[in-house]
Amino acid sequence: MEQTLVKFYQTGTFTVGNRLLAPEQRSLQSGAARSNSLNSGHRACQGCGEALGARYAIDAAMAATNGQLIAANATGCLEVFSTPYPETSWQMPWIHSLFGNTAAVATGIAAAMKAKGRSEVRVVAQGGDGGTTDIGFGCLSGMFERNDDVLYICYDNEAYMNTGVQRSSATPPAARTATTMPVGPNPGNEFGQGKNVPQIAMAHEIPYVATATVADLRDLEYKVTKAMSMHGARYIHIFVPCPLGWGAASHDTIKLSRLAVESGVFPVFEAERGEVTGVLKIRRQVPVEEYLKPQRRFAHLFGKKPDVATLARLQARADRNIRRFGLLGE
Amino acid sequence: MLEQCEGSHAVAKAVALSRPEVICAYPISPQTHIVEGLGEMVKSGDLTPCEFINVESEFAALSVAIGASAAGARSYTATASQGLLFMAEAVYNASGLGLPIVMTVANRAIGAPINIWNDHTDSMSMRDAGWLQIFAETNQEALDLHIQAFKIAEELSLPVMVCMDGFILTHAYERVDMPSQEQVDKFLPPYEPRQVLDPNDPVTIGAMVGPEAFTEVRYLAHAKQMQALDLIPQIAAEFKKEFGRDSGGLIKTYKTEDAETIVIALGSVLGTIKDTVDDLRAEGVKVGVLGITSYRPFPISAIRDATANAKRIVVIEKCFAVGIGGIVSRDVRSAVRNRPQPVLTVVAGLGGRAITKTSVHKLLLDAIADKLELLTFLDLDWDVVNRVLDREKSQRRSGPIAEGILRDMGNLATQVV
């Protein structure tokens, strides 16, 4: 009988997927040797996408460097929930300096290691979308253009969640935030604004840029591992739903991430030296409504009389991503 | 070894002799020659192992130094004026984290109006940021203070700002005695951090601290600066033993023993004041000078003791707090509190205006004749000021102040047709 190659989805967690895979294909997180760098007991909200993303990303980076890793962290949720004095959840050398300087602090750590001849010690920097795409952007771009030996990880939950859900340059159009309320003739965040930092990172022609989501944690681990096998400036942008800020159920974090990918709202790809080298194809395309509906930040688009015009514009944005990155087909 | 060189070059060499491991550079006048010199030394391989990083802003410059210092590297940067303000958030952060970074501030005015020339407004804006601030009088002292600064910073685990007058010192060619590498190595051991980011012994640096411990953390920063009041003279004495020169310390006095009038100042203007004091002494006037080398920590006891017998104190300062007056003189007043002697504030040399012997001579005679007000602006052009005030009274759209003044003064560059 002819053997069919079975493709397993959802193999990044403790779910059945891992047990069906060969040991070497299993998630690092499913192994007992995982470093638990971001240890349990922190104060993240239930269903926090950032905590999940950080746990997988940093443990993967720790595994890739045999534990010879130092992290610089921007001000934000991740910093606040992981290090309320006198506690820390970090089982690794970790520094928080300011909101907007994390990439530069990481550059300094990497420079110190180089000057001291400790080439085995590697550096990651991490922050939320506000700390990355807005206030930390100058330092980030500087780190990129100098090609400093740093992996920068952005956990993108599309607004300033730590300060109470204000708009960032990563907030999508139409989304309600505390500073883009669903009132007036154009409710929610404006269309035609915002910046695409993965693509801006690619424009710096740095060795590696990738996007990932917490819906495919094995893919996230793979990308972090790959990034750590390289030197120079690297950037991974991880889509991490925020139940509190998005008005979503805490058990929907993974589902929303998957719907963002399957609708084309968030393209998952990797790029080397400015060229796209791979994309995660959409398995079963869904309309953007399916992604938007479970989130109260988009509730004003639905109700008794759906805002079909705005929904069409959001669908057009997703369709453009699908075209641009070739997200459909095998 | 004696050599004739630019102040910036002397400082660059002193920093290089201190074996920094990470240097971050962002250009701003009048500091630029220092990092240019260091960049060349790193690039040529004369200064190694050392990473020289051309950053994209002063905020990044100090942030890179923060990361490097936390990772255990001896770290250095230099800035001035707007650059110091642009990095202000990181200035407070470096001291709050207790990182022994050494930074040169080539003192320069702060705009607007934009002005590249010397005064002390930049350093004074950061006087409460938790850094030690030491002021150099001469290029030799600037050189010496940098070597001492690394030792002081690393002993206390606090950052040190070495302040030197922009252009007046940074761009002046003078003879300096350049120490040898062996001498500096003997004086300044390799950096042994109190806290370090190391995968073999992980720590968390920069945790969030709430009301339960924030006061204690801040108090400890103050307590360390109080320790510095003992440490700074001690290191100056060690320096003298090794290098044979008096440099640094908390304060320095000149002809103050029997002085009825004591002038207090910081930085290079002390030379002009000492010359004026010599002239006045020749006329039989009992006047002396007290130079403040350590502005933070502020040497309250040393100043109080050194001025105990004076009838009056004149503070000549290259900065002022708009809306109240002197900055240095307010600190001096707290040092001589409960004494009858008046502390007179003289704001001078703003934005590079020359402080001349003639002006200081007249100023001091006025002070001795009790003709000086509590707050005086040396060589202020009242005609210019009054013309602006009159114009503002007479017309609503009186225009930009600085440009109006330049037009009043007949500055050709502003007469654009």
* In-domain check, residue A71: yes
B197 interaction partners in chain A (CB closer than 8 Å): 70, 93-95, 109
B160 forms beta bridges with B102, B132
Which residues of A, range 71-110, sit inside 8 Å of B by Cβ? 72-73, 79-80, 83-88, 90-98, 100-101, 104-110
Residue B417 has pLDDT above 50, yes or no: no
Helix (H, G, I), strand (E, B) or coil at B389: helix
| Residue that wins the pLDDT comparison between B381 and B414 | B381
pLDDT band at A14 (very low <50, low <70, confident <90, very high): very low
Q: Kindly state whether residues B262 and B212 are assigned to the same domain.
A: no
Helix (H, G, I), strand (E, B) or coil at A50: helix
Rounded Cα distance between B411 and B381, Å, is: 15
**Interface contact A111-B68, CB threshold 8 A:** yes
Q: Give the tens place of pLDDT for each residue, A173-198.
A: 999 999 999 999 999 999 999 999 99
Handedness of CA B176, B182, B187, B193 (dihedral sign): positive
Q: Please state the rounded mean pLDDT for residues B44-59.
A: 98
Distance from CA of B90 to the nearest CA of A (A): 7
* In-domain check, residue A146: yes
- Cα–Cα distances in angstroms (integers) from residue B295 to residues B97, B130, B211, B300, B335, in the given order: 21, 12, 29, 10, 12
B58 interaction partners in chain A (CB closer than 8 Å): none
Rounded Cα distance between A157 and B101, Å, is: 35
Supply angle C-alpha B203, B205, B209, rounded to 5.
Answer: 120
**Interface contact A93-B197, CB threshold 8 A:** yes
Number of domains in chain B: 3
CATH of the domain at B47: 3.40.50.970
| Residue of chain B whose Cα is closest to the Cα of A111 | B51
User: Which tokens belong to A29?
Assistant: 């997180």
Q: What is the DSSP letter of A299?
A: G
**Interface contact B55-A121, CB threshold 8 A:** no
Residue A10 has pLDDT above 60, yes or no: no
Q: Give the tens place of pLDDT for each residue, B308-359.
A: 999 999 999 999 999 999 999 999 999 999 999 999 999 999 999 999 999 9
Amino acid at B331: D
Contact between residue B361 and residue B276 where contact means Cβ atoms under 8 Å apart: yes
Q: Kindly state whether residues B332 and B401 are assigned to the same domain.
A: no
Supply angle C-alpha B92, B100, A140, rounded to 5.
Answer: 60
Query: What ipTM describes this predicted complex?
Result: 0.95
- Domain of B409, in residue numbers: 382-414
Q: Kindly state whether residues B66 and B165 are assigned to the same domain.
A: yes
Q: Kindly state whether residues B53 and B80 are assigned to the same domain.
A: yes
Contact between residue B375 and residue B347 where contact means Cβ atoms under 8 Å apart: yes
Contact between residue A129 and residue A161 where contact means Cβ atoms under 8 Å apart: no
CATH of the domain at B258: 3.40.50.920
- Using the 3D structure, point to which of B243, B276, B298 is the last residue of a domain: B243
B78: Cα within 13 Å, side-chain hemisphere: 30
Handedness of CA A201, A203, A207, A209 (dihedral sign): positive
Rounded Cα distance between B294 and B228, Å, is: 10
Question: Mean pLDDT for chain A?
Answer: 94
Rounded Cα distance between B159 and B69, Å, is: 10
Rounded Cα distance between A140 and A133, Å, is: 9
Rounded Cα distance between A138 and A141, Å, is: 5
B89 interaction partners in chain A (CB closer than 8 Å): 98, 100-101
Q: Kindly state whether residues B239 and B281 are assigned to the same domain.
A: no
Q: Measure CA B185 to chain center.
A: 26
Rounded Cα distance between A127 and A99, Å, is: 8
Contact between residue B235 and residue B127 where contact means Cβ atoms under 8 Å apart: no
Rounded Cα distance between B101 and B75, Å, is: 5
Supply angle C-alpha A58, A252, A72, rounded to 5.
Answer: 20
Q: Kindly state whether residues B403 and B340 are assigned to the same domain.
A: no
Q: Please state the rounded mean pLDDT for residues B144-148.
A: 98
Smallest Cβ–Cβ distance between A111 and the set B51, B198, B205 belongs to B51
Rounded Cα distance between A81 and A84, Å, is: 7
For residue B228, give the nearest of B250, B199, B195, B200 by alpha carbon: B250
Q: Give the tens place of pLDDT for each residue, A65-109.
A: 999 999 999 999 999 999 988 899 999 999 999 999 999 999 999
**Interface contact A108-B68, CB threshold 8 A:** yes
Q: Give the tens place of pLDDT for each residue, A197-249.
A: 999 999 999 999 999 999 999 899 999 999 999 999 999 999 999 999 999 99
Q: To 10 degrees, the CA torsion angle through B215, B217, B219, B221?
A: -150
Residue A15 has pLDDT above 90, yes or no: no
- Using the 3D structure, point to which of B243, B274, B290 is the last residue of a domain: B243
Q: Kindly state whether residues B335 and B200 are assigned to the same domain.
A: no
A234-239/A208-213 β-pairing: parallel
With 0-12 / 13-18 / 19 or more C-beta atoms within 10 angstroms meaning exposed / middle / buried, residue A14 is exposed
Distance from CA of A105 to the nearest CA of B (A): 4
**Interface contact B60-A70, CB threshold 8 A:** no
* In-domain check, residue A104: yes
Smallest Cβ–Cβ distance between B90 and the set A92, A101, A113 belongs to A101
Q: Please state the rounded mean pLDDT for residues B235-243.
A: 98
Q: Please state the rounded mean pLDDT for residues A126-154.
A: 98
Contact between residue B169 and residue B139 where contact means Cβ atoms under 8 Å apart: yes
Q: Kindly state whether residues B348 and B395 are assigned to the same domain.
A: no
Find which of A68, A107, A120, A150 to mutate to test the B interface (most B CBs within 10 Å of its CB).
Answer: A107
Q: Please state the rounded mean pLDDT for residues B171-175.
A: 97
Percent of chain B with pLDDT over 70: 98
- Is the CB of residue A115 less than 8 Å away from at least one CB of chain B? yes
Smallest Cβ–Cβ distance between A85 and the set B22, B89, B208 belongs to B208
Smallest Cβ–Cβ distance between A101 and the set B60, B73, B204 belongs to B60
B2-6/B22-25 β-pairing: unpaired
Distance from CA of A246 to the nearest CA of B (A): 26
For residue B20, give the nearest of B65, B63, B83 by alpha carbon: B65
Distance from CA of B126 to the nearest CA of A (A): 18
Q: Kindly state whether residues B187 and B126 are assigned to the same domain.
A: yes
Helix (H, G, I), strand (E, B) or coil at A26: coil
Contact between residue B59 and residue B87 where contact means Cβ atoms under 8 Å apart: yes
Q: Give the tens place of pLDDT for each residue, B8-19.
A: 999 999 999 999
B102-107/B375-377 β-pairing: unpaired
Q: Please state the rounded mean pLDDT for residues A160-183.
A: 98
pLDDT at A9: 61
Q: Please state the rounded mean pLDDT for residues A250-279.
A: 97
Rounded Cα distance between B191 and B69, Å, is: 10
| Residue that wins the pLDDT comparison between B407 and B62 | B62
Rounded Cα distance between B90 and A105, Å, is: 10
Please report the number of interchain residue pairs, chain A to chain B, with beta-carbon separation below 8 angstroms.
162
**Interface contact A146-B53, CB threshold 8 A:** yes
Q: Kindly state whether residues B138 and B236 are assigned to the same domain.
A: yes
* In-domain check, residue A46: yes
A97 interaction partners in chain B (CB closer than 8 Å): 63, 66-67, 90, 93, 97, 206
Cis omega before residue B297 (within 30°)? yes
Helix (H, G, I), strand (E, B) or coil at A269: strand
- Cα–Cα distances in angstroms (integers) from residue B244 to residues B175, B187, B238, B395, in the given order: 16, 12, 9, 63
pLDDT at B405: 87
Number of domains in chain A: 1
Q: Please state the rounded mean pLDDT for residues B192-216.
A: 96
For residue A281, give the nearest of A266, A262, A255, A265 by alpha carbon: A262
Q: What backbone phi and psi angles, to 5 degrees, belong to B106? A: -85, 95
pLDDT at A4: 66
| Residue of chain A whose Cα is closest to the Cα of B72 | A112
Q: Kindly state whether residues B167 and B278 are assigned to the same domain.
A: no
Contact between residue B230 and residue B256 where contact means Cβ atoms under 8 Å apart: no
- Using the 3D structure, point to which of B179, B211, B243 is the last residue of a domain: B243
Q: Kindly state whether residues B269 and B346 are assigned to the same domain.
A: yes
Helix (H, G, I), strand (E, B) or coil at A70: strand
User: Which tokens belong to A116?
Assistant: 């001291």
User: Which tokens belong to B170?
Assistant: 């940074």
pLDDT band at A17 (very low <50, low <70, confident <90, very high): low
CATH of the domain at A290: 3.40.50.970
Q: A53: left (phi > 0), else alpha (psi -120 to 50), else beta?
A: alpha
Percent of chain A with pLDDT over 70: 94
Q: What backbone phi and psi angles, to 5 degrees, belong to B278? A: -60, -45
Residue B294 has pLDDT above 60, yes or no: yes
B343-347/B173-177 β-pairing: unpaired
- Domain of A69, in residue numbers: 34-325
User: Which tokens belong to B384?
Assistant: 């210019």
Rounded Cα distance between B63 and B91, Å, is: 9
Find which of B23, B56, B69, B87 to mutate to test the A interface (most A CBs within 10 Å of its CB).
Answer: B56
Q: What DSSP string describes A172-205?
A: PTT--BTTB-S-SSS-SSPTT----HHHHHHHTT
